[in-house]
A = this chain, B = another copy of it.
Amino acid sequence: MSTAVSPLAPPDVPEMPVIAGVRLATAAAGIRYKGRTDVLLALMDKGTTVAGVFTKSKCPSAPVEWCRAKLKGAGSSKKGSARALVVNSGNANAFTGKTGKASTALTAQIASKAVGCSTSDVFLASTGVIGEPLDATKFDGVLAQLAETATPDLWMDAAKAIMTTDTFPKVATATVKLGKAKVTINGMAKGAGMIMPDMATMLSFIFTDAPLSAGVLQSLLKAGVEDTFNALTIDGDTSTSDTLLAFATGAAAANGAPKISRASDPRLKAFTKAFQQILANLSEQVARDGEGARKLVEVVVEGATTKPSARKIAMSIANSPLVKTAIAGEDANWGRVVMAVGKAGEPANRDKLSISFNGIRVAKSGARDPSYDEKEVSEAMKAPKVQIKVALGLGKAKDRVLTCDLTKEYVAINGDYRS
């Protein structure tokens, strides 16, 4: 694990307010790491709704399968309700066969006893090494103690307990009007490698006291991830464990917040915007903590025939090792950007392409921009954030993807993570 904090970490960490109906506790259960917390228990009051989106991996982790089954409700009346979230770091409980399934069942059982709820109201997430059995008996005793000591104000501790190769905890918060009442949204995320979310990235949890039905929450999540967590890549590697869960306690109803049961409800407008900003904020923080990252990279593709086409080209650029190493070397190597546009397989006309780095156009109409000044662009490449903009000149569709550069530190971090 890297110990130095990413130079791209946000300078300001927000004060995280409490969310009525949510209590948190963390512990060091010794799952893998020594001398740090590795278990988070979040307790939610009765009436809390839940929604989730997960990895599209064909080999998902056991906790992902557990959560999916609970959200589907498995025929139960509990569909969409939640009372507890248990997250551990250090072991992903992925590719652990029947042991993995048994381990999720045992964890949920221990949690349900500790909290006093049904196992179907327990949600689970694990992150860390893949393929090692997770010994769920380590939660025995620990979760009961956490349930007793949980308090509403432990947000930073919670965000720290779920870290793996992250170099800083990732949190975001917003307070917004729902009807005439104030409601609050808190979010946290972890993730630094194995990130090319064909969905959410690694682990992220959102909590609010707004009274939203599970269906509304699910709609908000699904719409919200499209241009945030789904438009993010560190290394093109999709985790087996990507999990994004949102919980709504509904506690703000006591202050007059209206109960929302339709996603199209006009009163939801400000909330939707704030919710999306939280997702955008957290996903950008994940890019800022990309393993070994020294530059935040924003890839903008415009003039595409369709938005999915723009997304595919942007992802091709964002995942190109040659583009990413060039950025690490502060080299405005637009030839490699052309290469990445060309290999995407999407409509592109070489002779209409224009490319800019941090607002300086280096190529236009399929050739070097004769007016560009190498010195000026070299200077611009030294900034901690680099925007690559590609204008395809074909249509009006546009998209944007966030990533980071590829440095020797990425190789160092991943060359001996397991051992």
Contact = CB atoms under 8 A, between A and B. Distances in A.
A414 B342 contact: no
A60 interface: yes
Contacts of A57: 339, 342-343
A22 B403 CA distance: 49
A363 B196 contact: no
B97 A351 contact: yes
Interface in A313-338: 319-322, 325-326, 328-329, 331, 333-336, 338
19 contacts: A55-B342, A58-B342, A59-B338, A92-B335, A95-B363, A95-B366, A96-B367, A98-B367, A130-B338, A196-B343, A236-B236, A237-B336, A237-B343, A238-B339, A321-B406, A329-B415, A329-B416, A408-B408, A410-B411
Contact of A325 (B99, B331, B410): B410
Contacts of A346: 58
Copies in the complex: 2
B368 A133 contact: yes
Contacts of A410: 321, 325, 411
A350 to B, nearest CB: 4
A131 B59 contact: no
Interface of A: 55-60, 92, 94-100, 129-133, 193-194, 196, 198, 235-240, 319-322, 325-326, 328-329, 331, 333-336, 338-348, 350-351, 353, 363, 365-368, 406-408, 410-412, 414-419
A341 B59 contact: yes
B342 A193 contact: no
A350 B97 CA distance: 8
A237 B414 contact: no
Contacts of A238: 339, 342-343
A233 to B, nearest CB: 11
Contacts of A236: 236, 319-321
Nearest to A348: B58
B418 A412 contact: no
Contacts of A237: 320-322, 336, 339-340, 343
A340 to B, nearest CB: 7
Contacts of A333: 417-418
B129 A418 contact: no
Contacts of A412: 408
Contacts of A329: 414-417, 419
A342 B419 CA distance: 23
Contacts of A58: 341-348, 350
Contacts of A319: 236
Given A342-B60, A367-B95, A367-B97, A414 B350 contact: no
B338 A131 contact: yes
Given A329-B416, A340-B237, A343-B57, A368 B131 contact: yes
Nearest to A55: B342
Contacts of A339: 57, 59, 130, 194, 237-240
B341 A416 contact: no
A361 B320 CA distance: 32
B363 A131 contact: yes
Contacts of A336: 130, 194, 237
Nearest to A412: B408
A335 B408 contact: no
Contact of A342 (B59, B100, B345): B59
